[in-house]
Structure 1
Amino acid sequence: MNSRGDRKALRVALVLSELRPGGMERLVVHLATELHNRKIPVQVICLQGLGELAYLLAEKNVPVLSLESHGSKDFSAILRLRKELKKFQPSVINMHDYASLPYVSLGNLLSGRSPLLFTAHGLLYEGFASLQKRNRFFSFFLKGLSAVSEKVSVRHREYLDWKKPIQVIANGVPEVAVSAEKRKFVRDELDCTDSTHLFLAVGNPRPEKGFEDLLAAASKLRDKGLDFLVAIAGTLTENDYCRNLQQQLVDLKLEQHCRFLGFRDDTAALYSAADSFVLSSRSEGLPMVILEAMTAGLPVVATAVGGIPDAVGDHVLLVDAEKPDDLADAMQRIAEDEIMRKDLAEKGKFFVKQNFGVERMVDQYLEWYKAVLSAEC
């Protein structure tokens, strides 16, 4: 192997649209931070704006830049990307969303032709069918494909008509530090008494997150007389789905039992305040938020979608997706059964720490990068 494949020569460019408050974006933050900690040169490139999570990299002095490309077919962005790639001279370029694929493919052709890698994060819930021909075309420029779970691997193999092996690298998360002080602060903010069971949900409201099912389940819990509050943290945008959710909240008269918190940058405090975590998604890859909640010592109720059953199925309470009655029953069980809560919390925290740590994940990414570089020699 030539020097380009040597660890000391490894230089990694991580590319995505924007560091928004989402699971894929948090993975990029964790990956970049750990590479930086290991003294491996890393550059995070955002095709659009920096996004709300960019400050997490800035705090660690991890280089991150934005191309500020906000329109379609922005050919000048390809030239700006070419300039940045020539300056950084990555030995590998790891993309994390399809929006970046055409720009990086063309910018890389003009700058030095480093091996292009793509990491698939989700199950392509909606909006990707019309882009399939484009993405299949640009996938010919890829030297490698990875996925966060086996089910995600199968979905993207079919979507891209990918014939080569796919490297499955499960998400990894750092342990979430919780504290009694943070717990009190957030619960006071939410007017949540000690006897009220606080369910936490985290995710940007989109159809695949199934928050309408969570609201329907909350309505059923209220009718059963349970003392609870559901707090949903995630950026609300001006679209029909978010407007419909807020109208559903009013129509079901759930204002005293459910709260949309919007974007929060104090997730550790939210995990500290919660009594359990709930995920109502209709489609997922391997959600970071479940792993984070488990490291924070929270018992989890989740829908059995995507890579969740295979990854953590024995350590969370699983229900079928799009079935609010089942979700409500599971939430009631976990709220009322203290022994179950403690058992799930303790075993889940240990399991995630052993199997889904950031260091393990980064080790596997590095092995993948080096294998691709060795094949290039």
Structure 2
Amino acid sequence: MGTSTLRIVHVVSSLNGGGMEHFVLRLAEAQRRHGHDASILALRGGPLADLARQRALPATVLGGRLPARVAHAALAFARARPHVIHAHNPTALHYATVGKLLTRARLVFTDHAQTRGIIRVPSRFEWRATDAVVGCSQDTADKSGAVGVAGNISVIHNGIDITPARRTREEVRAELGFGDDPPPAASPEPAGPSGGALVGIMPAAFHPVKAHDVLLRALARLRDRGVEVTVLIVGDGDERDRIHGLARELGIHGKEARFLGFRKDVPDLLLAADFFVLPSRDEGLPLAVLEAMARSLPVVVTPVGGVPEVVRSEEHGLLVPVDDPDALAAAIERLARDPALRRRLGEAGHARVRDDFSFEKMTRKYEQLYLGLE
């Protein structure tokens, strides 16, 4: 591709508040800072549409039923005249393929591991139309063949660009009803919410793959053992009602499990937390883990997808088996009773992300990929 200034259209299935959608907004914003004309095409709207407007990111939402959506997408691609169409999940690839047929743009697909367990698998025709496939981790690239990808698959690890918090830790914890700090030392009975509770955070869309149910069962076990920990559960999605119902059934809704819904102030909430937890059953390379580590939070995660490429257990965080609430509860209890462990893991995780997973490095790799397409 001969031009160094590119017109890029990123295609996503929605502007809901998941990690992948946040990633696309940040990537488009970074590419515009680098002088490219980057825009977003979404099949459906969502809370991030307002955020795109605030950041002056051109974003088109198709909406409507299938025939009208396809026609609207065709018109949007014709107006944008992109050099590169970058699809970020299999549903988006369907529409991105239409764009390529109309404009002869180069088509890039990033597998965020959303091809497994959540949504549709692309057709052979769509894969043949794709000029480059990128895995967000080596694990994702290794598994891409299982969903029909043929040929070479590049690996570009997700990177993180830290969004500064707007409020102090003390302000956010006071708003949530927590003391300023967690217990200063190991104790048989950690303090409750009014006196420095240990506060965790899990920002993730409500999908079965994220395993909110495992977290809730772990929190019930901690309550039964007298370990007072509260986890802020941030996000929305199809499983919301079922997960809320399970929390009520376990008797932890509103205390051990605090459901905050979709929030635009996740950086503030991360600053207020003492640890991060994500017991996923599958992943690509979750941005939420990188964001937490970048803010020096110790992480409790499962060894799925690209997570072990970032987190070495006992060095950068604690790895626990998939679908094991007892192991998850034990890991969280370790953090609750060992401030030195929290501090050591948090500092090591921060250094890991700072040195190896910067957003700027990732953005430049995508730019090189685009420019190298013929």
- Counterparts of 1:82-93 in structure 2, within 5 Å, are 82-93=74-85
Q: C-alpha displacement at 1:214, in angstroms?
A: 0.4
Residue deviations 1:54-80 (CA, integer Å, cap 9, x gap): 3333222221111224x3xx2332332
- Measure, in 2, the Cα distance between the counterparts of 1:167 and 1:354: 21
Could you tell me which residue of structure 2 aligns to residue 197 of structure 1? Answer: 198
- Counterparts of 1:149-160 in structure 2, within 5 Å, are 149-160=137-148
Could you tell me which residue of structure 2 aligns to residue 64 of structure 1? Answer: 59
Give the secondary-structure state (helix, strand or coil) at the position aligned to 2:301: strand
Partner AA of 2:12 in structure 1? L
Q: C-alpha displacement at 1:285, in angstroms?
A: 0.7
- The answer on whether the counterparts of 1:176 and 1:292 sit within 8 Å (CA) in structure 2 is no
Residue in structure 1 matching 2:110, options 119, 122, 126: 119
Identical residues among aligned pairs (%): 33
Could you tell me which residue of structure 1 aligns to residue 262 of structure 2? Answer: 263
- The answer on whether the counterparts of 1:233 and 1:263 sit within 8 Å (CA) in structure 2 is yes
- Measure, in 2, the Cα distance between the counterparts of 1:197 and 1:59: 34
Deviates more, 1:248-257 or 1:203-212: 248-257
Could you tell me which residue of structure 1 aligns to residue 99 of structure 2? Answer: 107
Residue in structure 1 matching 2:168, options 182, 187, 193: 182
- The answer on whether the counterparts of 1:13 and 1:45 sit within 8 Å (CA) in structure 2 is yes
- Counterparts of 1:275-354 in structure 2, within 5 Å, are 275-313=274-312, 314-354=315-355
Give the secondary-structure state (helix, strand or coil) at the position aligned to 1:310: helix
- Measure, in 2, the Cα distance between the counterparts of 1:5 and 1:169: 22
Could you tell me which residue of structure 2 aligns to residue 38 of structure 1? Answer: 34
Could you tell me which residue of structure 1 aligns to residue 193 of structure 2? Answer: none
- Structure 1 residues 189 and 305, CA, compared in 2 at 3 Å: closer, same or farther? same
Q: C-alpha displacement at 1:123, in angstroms?
A: 5.4
Could you tell me which residue of structure 2 aligns to residue 249 of structure 1? Answer: 247
Partner AA of 1:61 in structure 2? A
Residue deviations 1:346-369 (CA, integer Å, cap 9, x gap): 111121011111101101101111
Q: C-alpha displacement at 1:176, in angstroms?
A: 4.0
Could you tell me which residue of structure 1 aligns to residue 186 of structure 2? Answer: none
- The answer on whether the counterparts of 2:234 and 2:263 sit within 8 Å (CA) in structure 1 is yes
Give the secondary-structure state (helix, strand or coil) at the position aligned to 1:54: helix
Partner AA of 2:362 in structure 1? M
Q: C-alpha displacement at 1:171, in angstroms?
A: 0.8
- The answer on whether the counterparts of 2:111 and 2:135 sit within 8 Å (CA) in structure 1 is yes
Q: RMSD between aligned alpha carbons?
A: 1.8
The total of aligned residue pairs comes to 356
- Measure, in 2, the Cα distance between the counterparts of 1:302 and 1:292: 13
- Measure, in 2, the Cα distance between the counterparts of 1:367 and 1:209: 32
- Structure 1 residues 236 and 11, CA, compared in 2 at 3 Å: closer, same or farther? closer
- Measure, in 2, the Cα distance between the counterparts of 1:297 and 1:5: 42
Give the secondary-structure state (helix, strand or coil) at the position aligned to 2:109: strand
- Measure, in 2, the Cα distance between the counterparts of 1:30 and 1:346: 25
- The answer on whether the counterparts of 1:117 and 1:143 sit within 8 Å (CA) in structure 2 is yes
Q: C-alpha displacement at 1:173, in angstroms?
A: 1.2
Q: C-alpha displacement at 1:127, in angstroms?
A: 5.0
Residue deviations 1:100-150 (CA, integer Å, cap 9, x gap): 22222123313x21111111101534255xx44x52232111111111011
Partner AA of 2:24 in structure 1? V
Could you tell me which residue of structure 2 aligns to residue 138 of structure 1? Answer: 126
- Measure, in 2, the Cα distance between the counterparts of 1:249 and 1:105: 42
- Measure, in 2, the Cα distance between the counterparts of 1:98 and 1:123: 7
Residue deviations 1:201-236 (CA, integer Å, cap 9, x gap): 110111101111101111111122112211100115
- The answer on whether the counterparts of 2:222 and 2:329 sit within 8 Å (CA) in structure 1 is yes
Between structures 1 and 2, the one with greater helix share: 1
- The answer on whether the counterparts of 1:151 and 1:306 sit within 8 Å (CA) in structure 2 is yes
- The answer on whether the counterparts of 1:177 and 1:296 sit within 8 Å (CA) in structure 2 is no
- Measure, in 2, the Cα distance between the counterparts of 1:108 and 1:146: 17
Partner AA of 1:268 in structure 2? P
- Structure 1 residues 183 and 57, CA, compared in 2 at 3 Å: closer, same or farther? same
Could you tell me which residue of structure 1 aligns to residue 192 of structure 2? Answer: none
Residue deviations 1:237-275 (CA, integer Å, cap 9, x gap): 4xxx43332222122211322111111110011011101
Could you tell me which residue of structure 1 aligns to residue 187 of structure 2? Answer: none
Give the secondary-structure state (helix, strand or coil) at the position aligned to 2:350: helix
- Structure 1: 5+ residue runs without aligned partners? none
TM-score between both structures, scaled by the size of structure 2: 0.90
- Structure 2: 5+ residue runs without aligned partners? 182-195
- Measure, in 2, the Cα distance between the counterparts of 1:208 and 1:182: 32
Give the secondary-structure state (helix, strand or coil) at the position aligned to 2:258: strand
Runs of 4+ that moved beyond 4 A: none
Residue in structure 2 matching 1:18, options 10, 14, 39: 14
TM-score between both structures, scaled by the size of structure 1: 0.90
